[in-house]
Chains A and B, each alone.
Chain A
Amino acid sequence: MDIQTWLDAAIADAKRRGIPELEPLLRALAKSTEALRKADFAEQPDAIVDELSDLSRASNASVGNAGHTRHTDN
């Protein structure tokens, strides 16, 4: 869905639900969404999954999930 179509639908729905005061926030959000979509985040899906696994392993190995291990780094 393109951003203008989404924004028009979101504003109309907010008005239908009795919260027209959402409009300025939705317009600001639309600008953020536009920036996000235009950004050149070059990323491959496989790399994302690998990165997630690495993040999880690194976090758990170094500090423990609830931190019951002592830190050994200096």
Chain B
Amino acid sequence: MPDTPVTPTIEQFGRRWRAGDISAATVTETCLAAIEARNDALNAFITVMGDEARRQAAEADRERAAGRDRGPLHGVPIAIKDLIDIKGVPTTAASRVREGHISSADAPVIAHLRNAGAVLIGKTNLHEFAYGTTSEDSAFGAVRNPHDPSRTPGGSSGGSAAAIVAGMAVAALGSDTGGSIRIPAAACGLVGLKPTYDEVSAAGVVPLARSFDHVGPLARTVMDAWLVHEVLTGVSVPQGIGAASLKGMTFGVPDSYFCEVMEPDVRARYDASVRALQEAGAAVQQVEIPHAALTAAVYIHIHATEGSEYHARMLERVPERYTPVVRRRLEMGRYILSEDYVRAQNARRVLVREVDAALGERAALLLPTMPIAAPPIGAETVSIEGRDEQVRALMLRCTQLFNVTGHPAIAMPCGVTGGGMPCSLQLVGRRGKTHALARIALAVEAAIG
């Protein structure tokens, strides 16, 4: 089990900071001390921006003393997944392919964080080029889960999740192409928000599959995730949100496909969460997404093609600099026929309509984030009720559809397994309605405790 996090949430920090009970410098030093103490074991950070973070924290404290308040993220230490550009800092994407690269400009999301007064504490480790769900294929070594270092923190934004759990940052940025924010949030017991497609700029972010890539926050609470998300969209002073009322709210539950293969402990926590929502006054209706079982086939033909297009020249020039697993995945994508890519794009429109129809007039879809708890590092299969299942396929199973369709989705903790590993619930909202989804998530978070 991890040490109890010593960093406050964004909300807690804001209250104490504005009351003069704590300084941004103190919280930043706490994070830097945690990095110093635990990063060798967890491998969460690739680049620690200690001097810059201290300067930004001191500036935030000076501004507050002078009466300038930039809003909820002012003075908050935030970690950045190391495929997002910060001017003057390497963007490694956890790959030797990018050795020597220094970013010439801030990505728009970084510029937004700076305007909001956030403290950029450093850049976090990830699955190389975000092409994996475990954060173990990295030029900088595998990231480890603070809840159990023999297990993966999920991926690809595994370093961002591990950093928050270990008290190395108050919140973090990730990217999500098939679940890469929500999967590590699930594996580490955090909230992870994938917004509607194209709601947050992905400029200045090393792409994986451009039409699936999303940028979003990982945080300890729904409110914290919302506040970071708002800043990422360009809102200079984000406002808090109020929880929606669960009484009379209807959730769609697409159990078919999404709940067919689950570890028993994870299923028990999921079922308990659904019951808790019903006890809080919400209704639950079974819904069907008729082609859900074909999601992986649609996903791979688009995802692998787009990823390979971006990497084609580097695969020719410096193939030996990739980790072997990621190189193989990228090379595989180069063999996909254009006719099958178009078939997958056609199928994608069908899936969009099917998810829209499943939502209908309902508030949100309710499903697990991940059907298993964080697996051991290096495991290719896990046994579920006597049958071996592929780890990567299972980790993507409940999340990748909403990268295909672009619907907003949020992962939130819903208890732990008998072995103490986190379980996670996922809510999916209407396209363009991330705000409404966050209000529902706030209510769900309170109901499932």
Partner-B contacts on A (CB < 8 A):
1, 6, 10, 13-14, 19, 21-22, 25-26, 29, 32-33, 35-37, 39, 41-43, 47-48, 51-52, 55, 58-68, 70-71, 73-74
State the CA gap A33–B335 with chains docked (Å): 11
Q: 0/1 per residue, B296-329, Cβ < 8 Å to A?
A: 1110110010000000000000000000100011
Q: Which 8 A-B pairs have the closest CB atoms?
A: A67-B233, A62-B432, A71-B435, A32-B297, A68-B234, A25-B332, A10-B335, A41-B347
B interface vs A, CB < 8 Å? 108, 196-201, 232-235, 291, 294, 296-298, 300-301, 304, 324, 328-329, 331-332, 335-337, 340, 343-347, 349-350, 352-353, 406, 431-436, 439
A42 to chain B, nearest CB (A): 8
Name A67's contact: one of B199, B296, B346 (CB within 8 Å).
B199
The 10 sampled A-B contact pairs (Cβ below 8 Å) are A22-B332, A36-B347, A41-B347, A47-B349, A51-B352, A51-B353, A55-B352, A62-B433, A67-B201, A67-B234
**A13→B332 CA distance, assembly (Å):** 11
B197 touching A66, Cβ below 8 Å:
no
Contacts of B324 in A (CB 8 A): 21
Which residue of the partner chain B has the closest CB to A51?
Answer: B349
- Given contacts A21-B328, A25-B329, A55-B406, whether A39 and B352 have CB atoms under 8 Å apart is no
State the Cβ distance, A62 to closest chain B Cβ, in Å.
Answer: 3
User: Is the beta-carbon distance between A70 and B431 smaller than 8 angstroms?
Assistant: no
A65 to chain B, nearest CB (A): 6
B214 → chain A, closest Cβ, in Å?
12
B298/A67 in contact, CB under 8 A: no
* Consensus secondary structure, chain B interface: helix
CB closest chain-A residue, reference B231: A67
- Most chain A CB within 10 A, of B296, B324, B350, B352, is at B350
Q: Is the pair A14, B343 in contact by a Cβ cutoff of 8 Å?
A: no
**Given A32-B301, A41-B350, A74-B436; A67-B200 close (CB under 8 Å):** yes
B296 contacts which chain A residues (CB < 8 A)?
A: 32
Contact of B201 among A13, A39, A66 (CB under 8 A): A66
The answer to whether A66 touches B347, judged by C-beta atoms less than 8 angstroms apart, is no
Question: When A32-B301, A55-B406 are in contact, do A43 and B331 touch as well, CB less than 8 Å?
Answer: no
Tell me the complex Cα distance, A59–B304, Å.
24
Contact A66–B332 (Cβ < 8 Å): no
Across the interface, which residues of B come within 8 angstroms of A60, CB to CB?
Answer: 198
Name the residue on A nearest B437 (C-beta).
A73
**A21 surroundings in chain B (CB, below 8 A):** 324, 328
Distance of A45 from chain B, by nearest CB (Å) = 8
Residues of A within 8 A of B335 (CB): 6, 10, 13-14, 22, 26, 29
